[in-house]
Amino acid sequence: MRIPSATLLVVAAIFCHAQAEELSFDFKDPRGVSQVAFSLDAPLESINGTAKGIAGTVLVDPDNLSTARGKIVVATKSLVVPNPIMRMHLLSKDWLNARSNPEISFEIKKVGRVTKKSADASEVEVTGTFTLSQVTKEVLTKADVIYLPGKLGETTNNKIHGDLLVVRSNFKIRRSDFGIRAGEFLDKVADEISLFVNLVGSAPRKI
């Protein structure tokens, strides 16, 4: 039986469209734009720092964000604060124990309400599991998601073409919930930690 070439073209187009629906965004960012900043109160000045050792993959259909799934991992030893002694304490076994707990992670479990803000930007409600110091807690947060089709080339001098996905979110955790010196040194280091997430994921495409 001969299949008309027009039918083949339609099938190919449908197949290609189905393939293009879900994109795999890699959140390893060699440019250093992606980071998770943290801030917590302390007597002399608040402790502010960042973590840039970000990796992970999220599968996203830009037209249907509610199906997004994936995991973002932050290398504990990539946490930086401006004071070197403070950083040494932070990564020591008394606090984060970076040697035994090399990763901090967030895994998407469910994407709830999606609110379209503009053609490429949406606000989503995300439920996920946040793991810190080998303790996992469920976290519900809102995130701004911006899909930038074709923008990857601008960050790679057009060596690699593809799309970018920007994710921004702020949420708070308590160190006591993760067993980090729970109830101790509360006059020096606050229990509540504010996290400011700013991630850029890239999905290369073949031209």
Partner 1 sequence: MKPRSGSNKVVPLLRALAALSAVAILACWISLGAHMGWSQTRVPVQRTDAVTASTFTDYEERFLPGVDFLVAGLLGSAAIFALTLVMPNSKAGTRR
Give me the least distance between CB of 29 and partner 1, in Å please. Answer: 10
Identify residue 46 by its one-letter amino acid code.
Answer: S
Q: How far is the CB of 49 from partner 1 (least distance, A)?
A: 9
Q: Are 198 and 29 in contact (CB under 8 A)?
A: no
Residues 6+ apart with CB under 8 A from 113: 124, 125
- Nearer to partner 1 by C-beta: 163 or 191? 163
Name the minimum Å distance from CB 83 to partner 1: 5
Q: 23 or 166, CB closer to partner 1? A: 166
DSSP line for 122-149? EEEEEEEEEEETTEEEEEEEEEEEEEET
Structure token pair of residue 101:
């707990």
Nearest approach, Cβ of residue 72 and partner 1 (Å) = 15
Q: Which is nearer to partner 1, 31 or 206 (CB)?
A: 31
Helix (DSSP H) and strand (DSSP E) numbers for the chain: 3, 11
Tokens in use for 54?
Answer: 């970000």
Residue ranges binding partner 1 (CB under 8 A)? 31-35, 37, 44-45, 48, 50, 80, 82-84, 86, 146, 148, 151, 154-155, 164, 166, 168, 198, 200
Is the CB of 59 or the CB of 146 nearer to partner 1? 146
Least separation in angstroms between residue 147's CB and partner 1 is 11
CB-nearer residue toward partner 1: 13 or 88? 88
Q: Is the dihedral of CA 37, 40, 41, 46 positive or negative?
A: negative
